[in-house]
Structure 1
Amino acid sequence: MDIFERLKAAAPMEWAGYVDHAFVRQMGAGTLPQAAFRTYLVQDYLFLIQFARAYALAIYKSRNLADMRMAKAGLSAILDVEMDLHVRLCGRWGLPPGEIEAAPELQATVAYTRFVLDCGVAGDLLDLHVALAPCVIGYAEIGRRLAPDGVAALADHPYTDWIGEYAGEGYQEVAAQARRHLDDLAARAMTEQRFGELAALFAKASRLEADFWQMALTQSER
């Protein structure tokens, strides 16, 4: 069992509340209201801006070139891949990048992103990557769950682009690398005494991810 599986096992309720949230189930079924998805996309774009800062912080926190290169790859995945996906999807609703960037951050967005940044500033590289893990690795797990028969089988599913991005080979490899790196960091910096602290960080990050989904559903109902 690698460190990621141990962290999930230590926070089963928080993890299930995140990856099996109503937002995720409705997206998989194709019944998610477009208003909820639109809110999510705009807030996730703002979310990714802050996560890019977290990866830049990871470069600063790194003590060797291998860790720096991993952080650089994560930063590139956000700035050059994920944000482009969001721009493309938002464009379908007539939302240009400038308008998205000018949108106000909602409370759930601020809570999660600043929590991650605080983990990085106050802690070490392992703390930061544990706080990032529910998002970075969790999205790959969600993508696989929503495309059990592969991306091609999604056909005319209303959320094919989003599911396909995270279920696709490219992002799956990004998540696999992040998972291996997390395991390597734990092998270098974790003690059994410290595991409880890391599990608490992971559980909180998972709860904040669930709050992020819920934010989109709640806003769409107003």
Structure 2
Amino acid sequence: MTDAATAPEQRFTLQLRAAAEPDFSAATGHRFARDVADATIPPAVFRRYLVQDYSFLDHFVRLLDAAIATAPEEAARRRYTDFRAAVTSGENTYFLRSFAALGIPETEWREPEILPVTRRFHEIMGEAARSGRYAPVLTVLVVTEWVYLDWATSVMDTVPDQFWFAEWIDIHANPDFRSFVEWLIAELDRLGPTLSDAERAEVRDLFVRTSALEQAFFDQAYG
């Protein structure tokens, strides 16, 4: 991909993605995606991944609350509100059903040991949410959701027998999720040209750091 510094006409989000390489592509192309699709991921790895990922839920909901609070337009606030409802209902139910099916005791997922990369992810979501500004919040949301759309789309034609694999792919590869992520990306592209140089540098830093954490989070699951 062309470096952002040599392509000022390039879409803002593509400039950010280029700045985040190789971590962004390492996350979207991680072995995790193929291992889930083929149902060959070691049980201990998926268990660790699922428990750590569930620990994000409260932090992610707070990030969405910050998006609702800082989005400048009512239409955007409605989209975030609808997505928040989906996360706290259908996605939350997926986790609970998966924990039960995989025999993960309630004590393990309610009070997990928070691993280092997970903790850093909690912190960066909190950093964006506490900023009180739309650009940092939107940036972290774009990275987290874009990475998941890309990896899930890459394996969406494979449907494992186990629902905890198949539904995790579908949650992140269905048309509604794709539409939401494409809208997030368009929002950040629209916002980019309105930012000051300092704000653009802040957004770039957040995008790069969040991309690195996405890649590290998958690595962490494999121990």
- TM category (shorter chain) comes to 0.7 to 0.9
Deviation at 1:97, TM superposition (A): 5.7
* Corresponding position of 1:100: 109
Tell me what 2:179 maps to: 173
Displacement of 1:98 in angstroms is 6.5
Shift of 1:177: 2.5
| TM-score, normalization by structure 2 | 0.83
Which of these residues, 167, 173, 185, is aligned with residue 191 of structure 2? 185
Per the TM alignment, residue 186 of structure 1 is displaced from its structure 2 partner at its CA by: 2.8
Using the TM superposition, give the Cα deviation of residue 192 of structure 1 relative to its aligned residue in structure 2, in angstroms. Answer: 5.7
Taking a change above 3 Å as real, the CA distance of residues 63 and 143 of structure 1, as seen in their structure-2 partners, is same
1:38 matched to 2:47: yes
Instruction: Write the letter of the residue equivalent to 1:21.
Output: H
Residues 39-82 of structure 1, C-alpha deviations (whole Å, 9 max, x = no match): 11111111122100111122222344233223312322321222
1:197 to 170, 195, 202: 202
Deviation at 1:145, TM superposition (A): 0.7
- 1:208 alignment partner AA: L
TM-aligned CA deviation for residue 91 of structure 1: 1.6
> TM-score when scaled to structure 1?
0.83
Q: Is the 8 A contact 2:20 2:212 kept in 1?
A: no
Q: CA deviation at 1:210?
A: 1.4
List per-residue Cα deviations over 1:8-66 (Å, max 9, x = no partner).
12222121222122333433443211111111111111112210011112222234423
Displacement over 6 Å in runs of 4+ = none
Letter in 1 for 2:178: Q
1:21–1:213 Cα contact (<8 Å) kept = yes
**SS in structure 2 opposite 1:58?**
helix
Alignment of structure 1 residues 47-66 onto 2, 5 Å: 47-66=56-75
Unaligned runs of 5+ in 1: none
Equivalent-residue separation in structure 2 for 1:83 and 1:19 (angstroms): 23
Q: Structure 1 residue 163 and structure 2 residue 169: aligned?
A: yes
Distance change in 2, residues 1:26/1:94 (3 Å): closer
1:215 aligns with 2:220: yes
**Separation in 2, partners of 1:193, 1:142:** 31
1:20 is matched with which residue?
A: 29
Q: 1:65 to 1:97 in 2, by over 3 A?
A: farther
CA RMSD in angstroms, aligned pairs only: 2.4
Aligned-pair identity in percent equals 24
Query: Aligned partners of 1:89 and 1:72: how far apart in 2?
Result: 25
Deviation of the 1:181 alpha carbon: 2.6
Q: How many residues align?
A: 213
Residues 136 and 175 in structure 1, CA contact (< 8 A), matched pair in contact too: yes
1:139 aligned partner: 148
